[in-house]
Amino acid sequence: MTARFIALYETPTDPAAFDRHYHDAHIPLARRLPGLRRYTIGRDLVAVRGGFPYYLVAELEWDSMDELHAAFASPEGRATAADAAHLQELSPVRSMIFAVDESVL
């Protein structure tokens, strides 16, 4: 099973400040999360059916839900969460955690 954490960021009021903080502070913190297998970001997403665009999506992946929970409970996880609270001040964020049980393709 794979466990994923996804964060969807709305367009920030100051994109340059958001980008600078995300790349200079948040990515280095998150990359130290224990057991993190993959970390990707994408930009300028638009929902297929009538949704509004998101500025950035981040997807973090672990081998299991237990590893994901352990990562966020670690000192590195607490530091990343504290920084995510600062990012929330720069741009509204929606997040979710889910497990992938099987691939269908």
pLDDT in tens, 34-79: 999 999 999 877 666 666 678 899 999 999 999 999 999 999 999 9
At 16, which CATH number?
3.30.70.100
Strand partners, 43: 56
SS3 at position 72: helix
Query: Is 104 a residue whose pLDDT tops 80?
Result: no
Question: Taking each helix axis from N to C terminus, what angle separates 65-73 and 75-90, rounded to the nearest 10 degrees?
Answer: 80
Domains of the chain: total: 1
- The predicted structure's pLDDT at residue 93: 87
Higher pLDDT, residue 89 or 95: 89
Query: Is 97 a residue whose pLDDT tops 90?
Result: no
pLDDT in tens, 3-30: 999 998 988 999 999 999 999 999 999 9
Domain enclosing residue 49, as ranges = 2-99
Query: Is residue 36 included in any domain, yes or no?
Result: yes
* pLDDT-derived band at 1, boundaries 50, 70, 90: confident
Evaluated on CA atoms 84, 86, 91, 93, the torsion sign reads positive
Q: Which of 69, 85, 65 has the alpha carbon at shortest distance from 77? A: 69
Query: Is residue 8 included in any domain, yes or no?
Result: yes
What is the H or E stretch that residue 44 is in?
A: strand 38-45
Query: Is residue 104 included in any domain, yes or no?
Result: no
Q: Return the amino acid letter for 18.
A: F
